[in-house]
Amino acid sequence: MEAIAENTAKVDNMIDTKKDVQNNSPESADLSNLETVGIPFSDNAKMSMRDVDVFYGDKQAIHGVGLDIGQNEVLAMIGPSGCGKSTFLRCLNRMNDTIDICKVTGSLQLEGQDIYDPKLDVVPLRARVGMVFQKPNPFPKSIYDNVAYGPRIHGLVSRRAELDEIVETSLQRAGLWNEVKDRLHAPGTGLSGGQQQRLCIARTIAVSPEVILMDEPCSALDPIATAKIEELIAELSENFTIAIVTHSMQQAARVSNRTAYFHLGKLVEVNETEKVFTNPDHSLTEAYITGRFG
């Protein structure tokens, strides 16, 4: 049944596409009945979201977003400030729970399991869907303890040697091992901004999650540190499913397989990254990537 419904939706989208391209200029765009164009859904979906609405009190921040994140895919989310891309990302491991007035409706599934099921436990969910934040936020502990924190709280290891191994591999995967192996017990807050962010990534992958959510992970970093993180994302995509929110279109172009464009709380277009940046289906997307607003 579901599959049929999805297919119908796809067909509908295709019909709508033509309409949009013909008569939409960004300034006069009527967003009230906008439908997502492109290919928002995937056959090999790790996470799939349908009709997601998010409210902050009375204010609606996300309007009916439907999107899939494929297995081992890097999905970039772009859009102007305040378009709701970060809010949407934080829904995916229920980080919005920490905000009292935030309410999420619609269906959000991780491998067919409803994330917002009231009976579902957020603790194992977050162990499976990890998150890296905009500003590096290492705990005021040593580098070692930062990385070991996740495995410890989840009880993933029983012996010190196993923990050492996890810490080492995680730091190696995050490309930080060579820089810090001699000072594992120095405070994590003493590292440079880029190193701190890689430490946060190491901390996240130490739990070996299935999905990593990254919320503008490079916005607080300089270009060299950014380049390192981007390389890292490319390597990580072999093992993890990654959803990344970014403000930089170049970054989205460099690291992602697919790109989703958000506008005022709505998902406008999802397509192969190359297509989005060369020949977008929707006029709003085109306006954004050509720099007419943003």
Partner 1 sequence: MASAPENQKTIELVNQNLAKRYRAEKRFRAYGIASIGFGLLCLLFLFTDIIGKGHTAFLTTYVKLNVELSTDALDIYDVNDPQQIAGADYQGVLKKALRERFPEVTGRRDKRALYGIVSSGAGFEIRTLIEQQPELLNTTLDLWVLADDDYDTYYKSRSSDEGAYTGRFNEKQISWIETLIADGAVEKRLNTTFFNAGDSREPEQAGIRGAIMGSLFTLLVTLALSFPIGVASAVYLEEYAKKNKFTDFIEVNINNLAAVPSIIFGLLGLAIFINFFEMPRSIPLVGGFVLTLMTLPTIIISSRAAIKAVPPSIREAAMGIGASKMQVILHHVLPLAMPGMLTGAIIGMAQALGETAPLLMIGMVAFIVDVPGSISDPSTVLPVQIFLWSDSPERAFVEKTSAAIMVLLGFLIIMNTLAVWLRKRLERRW
Partner 2 sequence: MFLGLLVCFEIRQTLTEGFAKRTQRLPKSSDDNQENFWRIMDTSTLIATLALLIAAAYVMGRGRSMELADTSQGGFRNLNSLPFYYGMLTALWCGIPSLFLVGVWMTMDTSVIDMLLIKQLPEEVAAMPKSELGLVLNTIKNLAEGNMLGSAPEPYMAQAADSLKRLTQTSQMAMTVLAICLGMLLAVFSWFRISPEQKARLQVEGAFKAILLACSCLAILTTVGIVFSVIFESMRFFQSVPVSEFVFGLHWSPQMAIRADQVGGSGAFGAIPLFVGTLLISVIALIVAVPTGLMAAIYLSEYATAKVRSIVKPMLEVLAGIPTVVYGFFAALTVAPLIKDSGTSAIDFLNIQFEFLNIQMSISSESALAAGLVMGVMIIPFVSSLSDDVINAVPQSLRDGSLGLGSTQSETIKQVVIPAALPGIVGGVLLAASRAIGETMIVVMAAGLAANLTANPMESVTTVTVQIVTLLVGDQEFDSPKTLSAFALGLMLFIVTLALNYLALHVVRKYREQYD
Summarize as ranges the residues that interact with partner 2 (CB under 8 A). Answer: 93, 95, 98, 100, 122-128, 130-133, 135, 137-141, 149-150, 153-154, 200, 203-204, 207
Q: Which amino acid is at 274?
A: E
**Alpha-carbon distance 146 to 82, whole Å?**
31
The closest of 270, 280, 283 to 24, measured between CA atoms, is 283
Q: Which two tokens stand for residue 200?
A: 């946060």
Find the binding residues for partner 1 in span 123-182 (CB under 8 A): 123-124, 127-128, 153-156
Find the binding residues for partner 1 in span 256-275 (CB under 8 A): none
Kindly tell me which of 124 and 190 has the beta carbon lying closer to partner 1.
Answer: 124
DSSP 31-54: -TT---EE----TTEEEEEEEEEE
**Per rule CB under 8 A, is residue 238 in the interface with partner 1?**
yes
Q: Which two tokens stand for residue 63?
A: 């309007």
Kindly tell me which of 162 and 274 has the beta carbon lying closer to partner 1.
Answer: 162
Q: Which of partner 2, partner 1, none binds 263 (CB below 5-8 Å, type-dependent)?
A: none
Q: Which of partner 1, partner 2, none binds 240 (CB below 5-8 Å, type-dependent)?
A: partner 1
Residues near partner 1 (CB under 8 A), total = 18
Q: Which of partner 1, partner 2, none binds 203 (CB below 5-8 Å, type-dependent)?
A: partner 2
Q: Specify the pairing of strand 211-215 against strand 129-132.
A: parallel
Strand, helix or coil at 132? strand
Please report how close the Cβ of residue 157 comes to partner 1 at its closest, in angstroms: 9
Q: Cα dihedral angle (92, 94, 98, 102), rounded to 10 degrees?
A: 70
Please report how close the Cβ of residue 126 comes to partner 1 at its closest, in angstroms: 10
**Alpha-carbon distance 175 to 43, whole Å?**
32
Please report how close the Cβ of residue 124 comes to partner 1 at its closest, in angstroms: 5
Q: Which of partner 2, partner 1, none binds 155 (CB below 5-8 Å, type-dependent)?
A: partner 1
Percent helix, percent strand, percent coil in the chain, to nearest 5: 40, 25, 35
Kindly tell me which of 240 and 262 has the beta carbon lying closer to partner 1.
Answer: 240
Binding segment for partner 1 (CB under 8 A), chosen from 47-55, 95-103, 236-244, 260-268, is 236-244
Find the binding residues for partner 1 in span 205-224 (CB under 8 A): 207-210
The closest of 78, 81, 84, 49 to 265, measured between CA atoms, is 84
Kindly tell me which of 13 and 87 has the beta carbon lying closer to partner 2.
Answer: 87
Contacts of 79 (CB under 8 A, 6+ apart): 85, 261, 262, 263, 268, 288
Q: Which of partner 2, partner 1, none binds 100 (CB below 5-8 Å, type-dependent)?
A: partner 2
Q: Which amino acid is at 53?
A: D
**Per rule CB under 8 A, is residue 105 in the interface with partner 1?**
no
What is the contact surface with partner 1 in residues (CB under 8 A)? 71-72, 121, 123-124, 127-128, 153-156, 207-210, 238-240
